[in-house]
Each structure stands twice: as structure tokens, then as C-alpha cells.
Structure 1
Amino acid sequence: MTGPAFEALRLRRSHSKHTDEAPSRAELEELLSAMSSVADHSSLRPWRIIELRGEARARLGEGLAKAAGGDREKYVAKAKRSPLVLVIVVSPRASGKVPLWEQEAVASGVAHYLGLLLHEAGWGSIWKSGSAARDRAVRKALGVKKPEYLLGWLYVGGIPERDRKPKPRKPLDASRHLTAL
């Protein structure tokens, strides 16, 4: 089996180190326009992305520091390790048909598709989350108010030359994950 979607999935990998280059706002908007294909029951579009560049990234770091009770400078530096941070926000919509878990799945799909599209466009990214993503201090620092909440963030930037050559992945044994009744 081959094709562009198959190849994009097979070759995508996380990049934790980035150069100072990042996609432009126009490029991000183009990539996000493709999110209309994400499976989304009732087309609620229960998500949004917060774009952090420059000093705006410090707000994430400050929230992380408060959540961890740690050194502000350390967490601000961590938040600024990439030139662009895209915060994934679940924005639940009132619906009698679509439960919250399904709306969160849509936002997760957007985050994953966005990572794939960034990779295909030549950008490196890594999706970070953890308990801090659900911490009130992080939400407050980013201006996210209930009922919205965070799924995590994508650190995005150029791929360093040393990381441009794809590293082979261990093949997945699909028979361990595919069952039949």
C-alpha cells in the first residue's frame, strides 16, 4: 500500500529540537483550513488553536512554573525552546447528540493532523501535554476559561540539519492490535 497519506503517517516523527525558523501565520491558516476533513459529528468544530510567538511564549512558561511550583526562568526558557508554540484547546459546544469525549477526540484529531501537515510541509514539531495541560494556572496564563480546557501544545520550528534524515522506526505488529469477533 502506498500513497501520500500512508507515507506521511509512516515517515512522521516528533522533533524536540528546532531551529529559529517557523511557519508564517498565512501558512498556519492554510494548514488549518484542511481541518474540515477531521471526523466531527454534527460539524461542531469544538477546538481552537492559540498561536504563541516571541514573548507570548513566556505566558505558557509562567503558567507551567506556577503549576509546578518551580523556577519561573527555567519554565519560561522551556516554553521558548521553539519559535512557535501552538496550544490545542478543546472548546466544547452544547449538543444533545455529541458527548464531551467525542468533542475532545475531534480536537485530538486536529492536533495530530496538524502535526502531520507540519511534517509534510518540512517543519518539525512535538506534542507535549501531561498534568500541566489540565492545570488551572496554565489555563489562566493563556486566558482559557471554562468550559474550555487544554489538550497540550505543539512546539514547532525548523528541523536541524542533523535531524533531517529519517530514522527507521520499529515496524508495528498490526496483528497485536487488530482483532475480530
Structure 2
Amino acid sequence: MSSVTDFLLNRASEPRLDMPAPDGSTLDRAFACASRAPDHALLRPWRYLVIEGEDLLALGELFAAGCSDKGDEKKLEKMRNKAQRAPMIIVGIASPKKHHKVPEVEQMLSAGASMSFLVLALQDAGYGVMWRTGEMAYNPVVQEGLGLDEGESITGFLYTGTVSSAKPAVPRPELAEFVERWPA
């Protein structure tokens, strides 16, 4: 197998991220890779927001504004701090288009594939990435604050930066747990 296969077999999410974040040319190349995701009818049903620097504080405030428990200051501070876990957060947005041959579910899968390609390109460039969703990805206050249009949804928050300390290896499932031949 190729070096691509080896890379995939060793890929891991990295939750401990510091400066520096990817520079502009690295991001451009990573987004170019993301645009190569399988995409029936070339609809490009995705878009991205790059958030870094002081704008991460604003994202933290948006997370706090979306918090259902406004009276719990500890919870609000926890929500604010979620946006400080990495020097850059890239918000993936599924942006399905009306199309007579391509159902929305195919477009959602394409948006997810685009995010995966982005993750792989950033990791190949030497950066750590953690793809997170959680309650803020589905929160209408956060979606509105990030400027999502009707019908769009957040596919994830890509926390991105330089790995400060690698986490222990995660056990991987045995192939027999999720692969079978048909008919049995």
C-alpha cells in the first residue's frame, strides 16, 4: 500500500493544540484539497469560516449566548473557554442546494467528505486537528450568529494548531466488528 494508506492508519485527533496555527498558504492548499471531495453534479455543498485571534473571544461569547442555562456562571465560562482550546477554529458548514437529481443527503455526505479531506490536508501539513460538534453545532443562536442561511447546518468545528503533546493511541476496532460479506 502507498504512503497515503500508512498516513490514514496513523491519523489521530489531537485535543492539545497551541500556536502556531496554519498560515495562509497552508490553509489555501488545505481548502483546495477539501474542494476535491466527491460531489455529485459539482454543487460544492459546503463552505467554511476561519476564526482566529481576537475573533475566538467573540466565538466564545457566541457560545455563551447560545447556552440554555444563563444563570450558571460556571457553565457560561466553560462555554466561553471552548473557543480557546486552539489558536484557530474552522467552522464547516453544509450548504445544500436544490437539485432535481442530487438529494440533500448526498450533499450532506459530500460536505462531510470535504471536512475529512480538510482534516487530512492539515494533518499532512504537520498540524493537529480535533473535529468537534456538540450542542453548539446545533444551536440556533450560534448558527444565526455565524451567519448560516436557512437550510444550512454546521458539520463541525475544526480546532486547529500545533500539537502541544500527543495523546495516547486510541484502540481501533477489529474489522469484523464493522465489515461483513453479503450475502452472508
TM-score computed with the length of structure 1 as normaliser: 0.89
Shift of the alpha carbon at 1:148?
Answer: 1.7
CA spacing shift, 1:167–1:145, aligned 2, 3 Å: same
Q: String of CA shifts for 1:45-100, please: whole Å, max 9, x gaps.
A: 10011000112123322232222235444322220221100000011112011111
Equivalent-residue separation in structure 1 for 2:172 and 2:151 (angstroms): 40
Partner of 2:179: 178
1:1-150 correspondence to structure 2 within 5 Å: 2-70=1-69, 71=73, 72-150=76-154
Shift of the alpha carbon at 1:169?
Answer: 4.3
Of Structure 1 and Structure 2, the greater helix share is in: 1
Contact 1:59 1:141 in 2 (8 A): no
Equivalent-residue separation in structure 2 for 1:150 and 1:132 (angstroms): 9
Give the match's secondary structure for 1:37: coil
144, 159, 164: which one pairs with 2:163?
Answer: 159
Equivalent-residue separation in structure 1 for 2:45 and 2:58 (angstroms): 23
Give the match's secondary structure for 1:88: strand
- The runs of 5 or more residues in structure 1 that have no matched partner are none
Shift of the alpha carbon at 1:28?
Answer: 0.7
Contact 2:36 2:114 in 1 (8 A): no
Shift of the alpha carbon at 1:36?
Answer: 3.7
Contact 2:34 2:115 in 1 (8 A): no
Equivalent-residue separation in structure 2 for 1:133 and 1:97 (angstroms): 28
**Partner amino acid, structure 1, of 2:124:** E
Contact 1:57 1:76 in 2 (8 A): no
Aligned length: 177
**Partner amino acid, structure 2, of 1:53:** E
CA spacing shift, 1:138–1:23, aligned 2, 3 Å: same
TM-score computed with the length of structure 2 as normaliser: 0.88
Give the match's secondary structure for 2:18: coil
- The runs of 5 or more residues in structure 2 that have no matched partner are none
**Bigger mean CA offset, 20-29 vs 32-41:** 32-41
Equivalent-residue separation in structure 1 for 2:100 and 2:7 (angstroms): 36
Equivalent-residue separation in structure 2 for 1:25 and 1:80 (angstroms): 20
**Bigger mean CA offset, 139-148 vs 103-112:** 139-148
